[in-house]
Structure 1
Amino acid sequence: MPSRHASETPNSGDGSTRERDGSLLRSLVVSVLLAAVGIVVGFGLVLVAGLVLRVAGIEITPVLSIVLSLVLATGIGFGGVALLYIRYREYDFSYVGFRVPTLRELAYTAVGYVAALSLGLSATAAISLTGVEAGTNNAAQLGMENPEVLLLLIPASFLLIGPGEELLYRGVVQNRLRERLPAVAAIPLASLIFASIHYFSLSGSPSARLVSISLLVLPTLVFGAVYELSDNIVVPALTHGAYNATLFSLLYIALQFSQMA
């Protein structure tokens, strides 16, 4: 298997600048396409499942809607595309680095969680103070209208959201970029690609959605950094899962207090 950090290997001088640029362009295009295919496949699976359930006369409740999205889009869509790509390139799980975390890697997870949460909450507070309009996450909005959905999203953050999204966007997309770029470039690019695909899971004006995407880039940079440090996909998956679970928990607690007031 070729090194995922091929960009750090000195050039032999045999290839032309055009060939190297072409390889970099190909990596960028493939990375964006992988992200897009993950979204399309996930959306398609949810759409087909929804149509089948409606034809069968089954009511699609908010909880069922979230379950379909989590399992079919995040789990099978994102995870499936990542696994198919790994298989297509004739790699195994060593390509993404899949193993039980060591104590040091668990420390990366803990530090990454605190950093991601601090960045996310600080940026959100800053945007709120400035009065800039931000887009609303559709899952969070559904949770606000149906708090029981949040209780489902909390464990799902660890079981499906973190693993599915990190396998595709860090394990495959970031790794693909990392084959041609140094970490300082690959991590922000992968983070931007990941944040951008959330445009379709947000509501609001285009400018408001872009504000939310810019906020999402910050914690995502942390996910990419802990993956680079650990070379173990379990680390960003746990970090991401803990980050999302905390946000959903805080939202649930806030809703409970608002109902008591």
Structure 2
Amino acid sequence: MSSDAGRWSPILPVVAIVSAIGLGAGGLFLGFLLTIVGGLALTLVGIEVTPSLGIVLSLVFVQGIGCAGVALAYVNLQPDIRSVVRRRLGVPIDASQFSIGARIPGLREGIVVVVGYVLAFAGALAGAFTITTYQALAGTDLETGTNQAAQIGMENPEVLLLLIPASILLIGPGEELLFRGVVQGRLREVFSPVTAIVTTSVVFAGLHWFALTGGSATGNLVSIGVLVVPSLVFGTSYEYTDNVVVPALIHGIYNATLFSLLYVYIVFG
């Protein structure tokens, strides 16, 4: 992570927030757009886009190109982008290089992965328990929406067998490169660790609104709120280790666990 210490300007926080949100939302939007175009192209040549193929397209374009691709492109293009933006805003130009910490985790970081996974999963369970308890006591249904991937998995359990390894190999790495590596890293240039982690977590969780199907506005908002908890764990682990592989593993194993439990419930429950 780079720093703008000594070259601070009142406009830098605004630029950081706008660029961070733009990068996160832009990466996902690009991936979704490419997924739709890819699906239409396959349909035009006579190939049926089955649920499994649709998931493959989504993984390749959203997590692969949209998330990881945009993140890596930003790291490489950032020096030029920074110079142009700062020159137009009249902000002093520096030679700092934006970077994403990435390396094979050592023993200490392996422990962080284990602890982070437990905390993320415990937080999600606590959130789900709180929602269930509230609904029971209040005698009401919040009508929370369902994640689109989970919905497809419930209708086609074989898709979950694809999503389980993909969570660790593509979903975790792709989304963490973009959101923790780039979005949080960009905010960290001008904000404190707590502000950067919380803001990134809210943005990350909020963008999942578009991945929900059904549910009421209130129910979906509550679902997004629950998602903030594991996202805070991802962000904290990156800040603590400065190694994006750590939150990528936590995120991937967390998602893989959810898909595994869903598969067992559908097939054996």
TM-score, with structure 2 as normaliser: 0.88
Q: 8 Å contact 2:31–2:61 — kept in the other structure?
A: yes
Aligned ranges for residues 14-93 of structure 1 at < 5 Å? 20-90=9-79
Which residue does the alignment assign to 2:182? 172
Q: Which residue of 1 aligns with 2:120?
A: 116
Q: Does 1:208 align with 2:219?
A: yes
What are the equivalent positions in structure 2 for 1:104-183 lying under 5 Å apart? 104-131=108-135, 132-183=142-193
Q: Confirm or deny: 8 A CA contact 2:2 2:98 kept in the other structure.
A: no
CA contact (8 A) 1:5 1:182 kept: no
Structure 2 gaps, min length 5: 81-96, 136-141
The structural deviation recorded for 1:94 is 7.9
The count of residues paired between Structure 1 and Structure 2 equals 247
- Map 1:231-250; keep pairs closer than 5 Å: 231-250=242-261
Residue number in structure 1 paired with 2:230:
219
What is the CA deviation profile of residues 6-64 of structure 1, one whole-angstrom value per residue up to 9, with x for unaligned ones? 5xx5xx5xx7xxx6331001000001110121122101110110110110111111100
C-alpha distance 31-94 of structure 1, shift in aligned 2 (>3 A): closer
Alignment partner of 1:252 is 2:263: yes
Distance 1:5 1:124 in 2: 38
Q: 2:48 is paired with a residue of what secondary structure?
A: coil
What residue identity is the alignment partner of 2:226?
A: L
Q: Note the C-alpha offset of 1:133.
A: 2.6
Aligned CA-pair RMSD: 1.8
Instruction: Tell me, in whole angstroms, the C-alpha distance in 1 between the residues paired with 2:106 and 2:54.
Output: 36
Could you give the per-residue CA deviations for residues 65-108 of structure 1, whole angstroms, max 9, x where no partner exists? 111101111111111111111111149x9811111111101111
Q: Deviations over 1:93-135 (max 9, x none)?
A: 9811111111101111110000000001110121122223322
Q: Deviations over 1:196-237 (max 9, x none)?
A: 111111012322221111111000000000001110010000
Name the CA distance, whole Å, in 2 between partners of 1:230 and 1:36. 25
Provide Cα deviations, 1:229-248, integer angstroms capped at 9, x if missing partner: 11001000000001000011
**Alignment partner, residue 2 of structure 2:** 4
- How far residue 138 of structure 1 moved from its aligned partner, in angstroms, is 0.7
Secondary structure, in 3 states, of the residue corresponding to 2:2? coil
**Matched residue, 1:184:** 194
Q: Quick check: 1:133–1:211 contact (8 Å CA) kept in 2?
A: no
Contact 2:78/2:98 (8 A) holds in 1: no
**TM-score, L = length of structure 1:** 0.90
Q: Percent identity?
A: 52
Residues 46, 73 of structure 1: 8 Å contact kept: yes
Are the counterparts in 2 of residues 96 and 175 from structure 1 also a CA contact under 8 Å?
A: yes
Equivalent AA in structure 2 for residue 196 of structure 1: G
Aligned AA (1:252): Y
Q: Distance in 2 between matches of 1:4 and 1:236?
A: 19
How far residue 5 of structure 1 moved from its aligned partner, in angstroms, is 4.9
CA shift in 2, pair 1:169/1:100, >3 Å: same
> Does the 8 Å CA contact 2:165/2:256 hold for their aligned counterparts?
yes
d(CA) in 2 for partners of 1:137, 1:233: 25
